Chains A and B, each alone.
Chain A
């Protein structure tokens, strides 16, 4: 079974631009979550999508948004990029049961200059 696929692996953007990251979950998984990982803040929860609906949201500004498509693939968008948005963005999928572990992709490394 293929794992979680994130594209692209690396991105370099300039302050003020926007960016879209993509995530394809494991086949059959309907829940997709996004996490931001930085050296200073560690792993922080952004949001979770299930059946095309945002089900949970972390404490991030409205510049961070996402969506999920009918095939469970998800995209995350960050608008008006700031230097502090430089991070590894990790996508994880699960079967949506509360006791289902998250399966992570290898992440997208975003650098904002």
Chain B
């Protein structure tokens, strides 16, 4: 069964500083990987996804993530954080399941605080 680990529960960065959120996954085959962001009282918004090909993927809001198979990691980065980036970030791994469809397994999330 697949699993996702986000080792940082809380991260605080200053506005304008760079950001890296860590994500490690466990899955037997090539996974589908996602990063989602959730603002308070809202649903999850897709930031970016990796399926295959180029291991550096670009997403919305200036985010990018790099897939490293050897490290089973899919870390999220942003060169310069804005105060509006404060939210909770979830890494997820998707897998094809018997009978079709997909099912996402989420990490426990990283709460990002941005100091002005």
Contacts and interface: CB of A to CB of B under 8 A. Distances in A.
A101 B46 CA distance: 8
B100 A50 contact: yes
User: Ordered nearest first, which 3 A-B pairs have the shortest CB separation?
Assistant: A104-B43, A43-B106, A104-B44
A82 B43 CA distance: 23
Interface of A: 4, 6, 31, 33, 35, 42-43, 45, 48, 50, 55-56, 58, 90, 92, 94, 96, 98-107, 109
A103 to B, nearest CB: 7
Contact of B101 (A42, A56, A58, A103): A56
Contacts of A102: 34, 44, 46, 102, 104
Contacts of A104: 36, 43-45
Given A35-B104, A58-B103, A106-B43, 10 more contacts: A4-B43, A42-B109, A43-B106, A55-B99, A55-B101, A96-B101, A99-B51, A99-B102, A102-B34, A106-B41
A103 B72 CA distance: 25
A105 to B, nearest CB: 5
Interface in B29-43: 32, 34, 36, 41-43
B108 interface: yes
Contacts of A4: 43
A31 B97 CA distance: 14
